[in-house]
Amino acid sequence: MKVEQTLEEQYEERGDDHVGSSQDTPMRKDAFELSDTEKISHIQENVREIMLTLGLDLEDDSLKGTPKRVAKMYVNEIFGGLHPDRKPKSSTFDNKYKYNEMLVEKNITLYSTCEHHLLPIVGKAHVAYISNGTVVGLSKMNRIVDYYAKRPQVQERLNIQIVKELQEVLGTEDVACVIDAKHLCVNSRGIRDIESSTVTAEYGGKFKEETLRREFLDYINLDTEF
| 115 is an active site residue | yes
How far apart are the C-alpha atoms of 163 and 122, rounded to whole Å?
19
Catalytic member of 155, 161, 177, 202: 155
Catalytic entry in 117, 153, 161, 165: 117
Indicate if 83 belongs to the active site.
Answer: no
Q: Indicate if the alpha-carbon torsion angle 27, 33, 36, 41 is positive or negative.
A: negative
Q: Is 126 a catalytic residue?
A: no
Known catalytic residue at 44? no
Letter for the amino acid at 177?
C
155 is catalytic: yes
Task: Exactly one of 44, 116, 177, 202 is catalytic; name it.
Answer: 116
Catalytic (active site) residue 185? yes
User: Annotated catalytic residue: which of 126, 177, 185, 202?
Assistant: 185
Give the number of other Cβ atoms within 10 Å of residue 100's Cβ.
9
Catalytic one among 44, 105, 115, 153?
115
Instruction: Examine the residue annotation and report whether 183 is marked as an active-site residue of this protein.
Output: yes
CA distance 63 to 35: 26
| Catalytic hit among 153, 161, 183, 202 | 183
- Say how far apart CA 126 and CA 107 lie, in whole Å: 6
Q: Which of 114, 153, 161, 177 is catalytic?
A: 114
Active site residues: 114-117, 155, 183, 185
